[in-house]
Amino acid sequence: MARARTGVRALGAVLAAVLGASLAGCSSTGGKRAEDARKAQSAAGKAAVTTPRWTFAMVTHSGDGDTFWDIVQNGAEQAAVKDNINFLYSHSDEGQQQAQLVQAAIDKKVNGLIVSLAKPDAMKDVIAKAEKAGIPVITVNSGSEQSKAYGALTHIGQDETIAGEAVGDELDRRGKKKALCVLHEQGNVGHEQRCAGAKKTFGGQMQNLYVDGTNMPDVQASIEAKLQADRSIDSVVTLGAPFADAAVQARKTAESEAEVDTFDLNAKVATALTAGTLGFAVDQQPYLQGYEAVDLLWLYKYNADVLGGGRPVLTGPQIITKNDAAELQQYTERGTR
Amino acid sequence: MSATAPPATPDSTPAKTDERLLRTSPLRKLLGRPELGSVVGAVAVFLFFSIIAESFLRASSLSTVLYAASTLGIMAVPVALLMIGGEFDLSAGVLVTSSALISSMFSYQMTANVWVGVLVSLLVTLAVGVFNGFMLTRTKLPSFIITLGTFLMLTGLNLGFTKLISGTVSTKSIADMEGFESAKKLFASQLTLGDVTLKVTILWWFVLVALATWILLRTRFGNWIFAVGGGADAARAVGVPVNKTKIGLYMGVAFAAWISGQHLLFSFDVVQSGEGVGNELTYIIAAVIGGCLITGGYGSAIGSAVGAFIFGMTSKGIVYAEWNPDWFKFFLGAMLLLATLLNAWVRKRAEASK
């Protein structure tokens, strides 16, 4: 034991030394200090209304650590601050568990529910229960077809097929002939719809490539392999922002001329668009999905307003090219675009 | 080709050579090697894809396959050693992501030279290895439980800390910070020879395989690993420091996770906090295809490299062959079973003819 203690003490000493060294070994470029310098002091969040403090719960099908859903959550939280809402968030990528989380929210007697319908069948019963309990429901992101039938007030999101079609059109406009659609989650219905939509409007030929989204070097190697196997591919479309960068590196190694385009946006994509290493990005504005969901629930509670007239309210697709990217960069860095 | 009867001497003395000496015949030696089955498998897979996919044999394609194999192989080496030592590590996949996150966030938040973050990451990653080994030897719980706990905790910490510190689920870019370029050279550079691009991970992989082979076959620690995996109690009885050996093996895994993590960070400069889940099984698969016994005490570092190579060839070969990728996992599972059966068969033959 004594020896173990000495070991811990030694480790502590080393850590302290490193911490000390880190103060000396500062980087004069980049990092948090640069960010702080850049960032203008924004006013602290404060409610803009005097309505009662209602509780809204949002339950999504997001996996752990998903960039996209993080932005949705940011939007919802900021709207909640403004609308004086107590906002609860939970998520699970398993349909059954997501339904249980919704049930828990109903048990808690929340005043409003925001749900994504990636696995609509699993959510059907529990949404009916919410309705019976008198809780208004707004669906976001996926599930535009089921939303109305299940009794939700409004659906806010992007139609994946329409988004895909926009990509096909844009590829045509750029004169592409052979495209690759990179899917990073096998069996995700939304992903399949995006590629199918793109295939529908694209005049050229389009192939699907499945990669393992949790293993970035492997994503890169797979795209690399595909570009080497088929030299005539002139555009690569990734379905998530983090994979665009892997595709760019794969193109470099495979010495391919293909243009890389992507769904979704993040700070790196915005930078790459500005630099011209990416062709275009298709944004469905996740911030808007979270923000509008909370805001519309508040409007319903306060003023019985409903938006969309029973039809989904679309937040995308918005095609972002080099011209728009520079302006969006600062927003991607703070995590709202 | 009769290995059992060596060429008889003309005078044929009745006193034949001692039967134990037969073991030294090269063929016998080869049959006894743990990686033999996987080498046969690798050759088969290689020939298969060479015939099926026309672009597979190009030099540039092979370098891609090597890259895919190397990122997996770097981790498969210490995982194989750990399995020879009779233990598992389910936290290895997520630890890679942790290691990348720590370097990135420490450098960024402290506005420190990137190398400082890299060093801090090494210490923390090794500490996780020590934690795994220490918990294992102290509690006597199965490594499956201990590392499953670490796996879940790390997954949560990765996400929780990243969100807390960066405000988003991925780290901020550190590409414009001091030290980035030199660190990138070490962990994520590439060498271009003609139209072939070789990634530095391949070099790391080869060095690790060589180092691990030397440790296993030429050092006392290597003997301890085999002894500990073959029977911990017997090993302890003859004076092998069982606990130290196991802690050392977990530190080995942590060290390789650090290298992989730094590669991840410096090749993409932004790290997603949710990555790495599921990769621990891939490392174990590579080690098992390469001839490591799940029960411990048997296996080799070269075998793990061959296993990783088979994995890389299969996963990328399917792309080169332009097959429907829906079936990839099935193919991989079948390959795993076949390789393991082939291993078992070869080993049984080798032992039977001893």
List, for residues B197-220, the tens digit of each pLDDT value.
889 999 999 999 999 999 999 999
Question: How close is the nearest chain B Cα to the Cα of A50, in Å?
Answer: 29
What percent of chain A has pLDDT above 70?
Answer: 90
Confidence class for position B77, pLDDT limits 50, 70, 90? very high
**Which one-letter amino acid corresponds to residue B317?**
G
Mean pLDDT along residues A281-306: 93
Residue B4: is its pLDDT beyond 50? no
A156 burial (CB, 10 Å; 0-12 / 13-18 / 19+) is: buried
Contacts of B277 in chain A (CB under 8 A): 64, 214
- Other Cβ atoms less than 10 A from the Cβ of B23: the count is 10
Contacts of A11 in chain B (CB under 8 A): 123, 127
- The pTM score is 0.78
- Identify the residue with better confidence: B18 or B27: B27
B111 vs A242: CB contact, 8 Å cut-off? no
Average per-residue pLDDT for chain B: 86
Q: Which of A57, A55, A109 is nearest to A84 (CA)?
A: A55
Which pLDDT value is given to residue A24? 56
CA B260 from chain centre, in angstroms, equals 11
CA-based nearest residue in chain A for residue B62: A225
B67 vs A15: CB contact, 8 Å cut-off? no
Question: How close is the nearest chain A Cα to the Cα of B294, in Å?
Answer: 24
CA-based nearest residue in chain A for residue B179: A27
Q: How far apart are CA A182 and CA B67, in angstroms?
A: 20
Which pLDDT value is given to residue B128? 97
Which pLDDT value is given to residue B7? 47
Question: How close is the nearest chain B Cα to the Cα of A49, in Å?
Answer: 26
**Which one-letter amino acid corresponds to residue A248?**
V
Residue B256: is its pLDDT beyond 90? yes
B275 vs A11: CB contact, 8 Å cut-off? no
Distances from the Cα of B38 to the Cα of B302, B344, B348, angstroms: 10, 11, 15
Mean pLDDT along residues B30-40: 77
**Which one-letter amino acid corresponds to residue A310?**
G
B320 vs A218: CB contact, 8 Å cut-off? no
Residue B3: is its pLDDT beyond 50? no
Mean pLDDT along residues A257-261: 94
Residue A51: is its pLDDT beyond 80? yes
Provide CB contacts within 8 A for B5, sequence distance 6+. none
User: How confident is the model over B302-314, as pLDDT tens digits?
Assistant: 999 999 999 888 8
Residue A41: is its pLDDT beyond 70? no
> What are the respective helix, strand and coil percentages of chain B, to the nearest 5?
70, 5, 25
Cβ-Cβ pairs closer than 8 A, A with B, add up to 188
**Which one-letter amino acid corresponds to residue B60?**
S
Which residue of B98, B111, B176 to mutate against A (max A Cβ within 10 Å)? B111
- Identify the residue with better confidence: B200 or A22: B200
Question: Would you state the structure tokens that stand for residue A117, as one six-digit string?
Answer: 């319908």
Which pLDDT value is given to residue B37? 78
Q: How far apart are CA A11 and CA A307, in angstroms?
A: 60
3-state secondary structure of A318: strand
Question: Dihedrals φ, ψ of A328, to 5°?
Answer: -80, -15
Average per-residue pLDDT for chain A: 86
Question: How close is the nearest chain B Cα to the Cα of A66, in Å?
Answer: 7
Q: How far apart are CA A36 and CA A38, in angstroms?
A: 5
Which pLDDT value is given to residue B22? 52
Residue A46: is its pLDDT beyond 80? no
- B279 → closest Cβ in A30, A70, A215: A215
Confidence class for position A16, pLDDT limits 50, 70, 90? low
Of A51-55, A93-97, B106-110, B213-217, which range is least confident?
A93-97
Residue B179: is its pLDDT beyond 70? yes
Q: How far apart are CA B121 and CA B105, in angstroms?
A: 10
Which H helix or E strand runs over A210?
strand A205-210
Contacts of A30 in chain B (CB under 8 A): 108, 111, 173-178
Count how many residues are written for chain A: 337
Contacts of B127 in chain A (CB under 8 A): 11
Residue A178 β-bridge partners: A205
- Identify the residue with better confidence: B131 or B175: B131
Mean pLDDT along residues A255-271: 91
Which pLDDT value is given to residue A44? 46
Residue A300: is its pLDDT beyond 70? yes
Q: How far apart are CA B281 and CA B295, in angstroms?
A: 16
Mean pLDDT along residues B282-310: 89
Mean pLDDT along residues A123-139: 92
Question: Dihedrals φ, ψ of B266, to 5°?
Answer: -85, -15
Contacts of B58 in chain A (CB under 8 A): 228
Contacts of B107 in chain A (CB under 8 A): 27, 31
Confidence class for position B39, pLDDT limits 50, 70, 90? confident
A25 vs B116: CB contact, 8 Å cut-off? yes
Which pLDDT value is given to residue B5? 45
Q: How far apart are CA B152 and CA B107, in angstroms?
A: 25
